[in-house]
Amino acid sequence: MSARTPAERRQRVQALPPLREPDARAIEAFLDAAWAEGGLSRQTLASYRRDLQGLARWRDGAGGGLAGADQAALFDYLGWRAREGYSPRSNARLLSSLRAFFAHALRRGARQDDPTALLEPPRLPRPLPKALPESQVEALLAAPDTADPAGLRDRAMLELMYACGLRVSELVGLPATALNLRQGVLRVSGKGGRERLVPLGEEAQHWLQRYLDEARPKLAGKRALAPLFLTAAGAPPTRQQFWTTVKRCAAAAGIDPARISPHGLRHSFATHLLNHGADLRALQMLLGHASLSTTQIYTLVAREQLKRLHRQHHPRG
């Protein structure tokens, strides 16, 4: 049987029996305790409620309802969800909700066992970073209006992010003292306070010099301001503001804004370096990764692109 569409799954769930009162009370008691003890967010509590109500309605009070569910019942429910086409990520979240609920029941003496103890979480597919083709990166970088001070700043920010593979938080938080155009390097303070020196390419240096000479004095006025990049108010751009800039430039460049994010330029930086023969250890240092295993995911991106090219152009692809 083929997996159901999301709309079909919603219809199937809506057709389940209504929630029984004992199950509803057990769920709300657990959520109250989870909020009081763990200070969980509203979104997490809503996810717990939705997951637990789904299991309770599917069981329809059988064998003592939700509180009486045993390991076999949970296996059956997970099997039903798999046949319905729920994703591994959705089932992993469900298992997290069930574990929290039954651990709470065990602590308060409502149960003598934990039916989730031997349940293995589903294997989640490793998401690959989304990198833009080099031609689209070029179009994106050329999108800002450099005749305007804000546009020249945006061009310099985009060039620097792509040239150095910066995180968004690293880019918007740069002080002016982090940039050394004479030596062609940028000092970046990354996660965990780890500092790294990243070389600048000639194109990035060109646009940064233009920004410093032509745009930043107009944005700063007579104020001596520490941030490298400034808004008209004299403050550094926020992450949200830069996100808006990337989306606007993507639309101007003819790129679907839904396919791009600020972090996509970092992914593109890493993928393009690997495609042109960069060493993985060197890439780790440039990205500021504490572990090489984090960097290795980019080799998967490059491999997938090679496979796609082979399929498209090889006579036996």
Active site residue 289: yes
Rounded to 5 degrees, what angle do the CA atoms 257, 260, 262 make?
A: 120
Q: Which of 4, 111, 218, 263 is catalytic?
A: 263
Distance, in Å, from the CA atom of 242 to the CA atom of 231, rounded to the nearest integer, reads 11
Q: Which of 104, 167, 216, 272 is catalytic?
A: 167
Dihedral sign computed on CA atoms, order 202, 170, 297, 308: negative
Which residue has tokens 């209006």? 145
Which residue has tokens 């003592």? 64
Distance, in Å, from the CA atom of 16 to the CA atom of 32, rounded to the nearest integer, reads 25
Active site residue 298: yes
Active site residue 167: yes
Q: Which of 298, 308, 311, 316 is catalytic?
A: 298
Distance, in Å, from the CA atom of 85 to the CA atom of 88, rounded to the nearest integer, reads 9
Q: Which of 57, 266, 267, 272 is catalytic?
A: 266
Q: Which of 25, 107, 191, 259 is catalytic?
A: 191
Active site residue 191: yes
Own/partner pairs for 70-77, CB < 8 Å, 24+ apart?
70/115, 71/115, 71/116, 71/117, 71/118, 71/119, 73/115, 74/98, 74/115, 74/116, 74/119, 75/119
Active-site residues: which are they? 167, 191, 263, 266, 289, 298
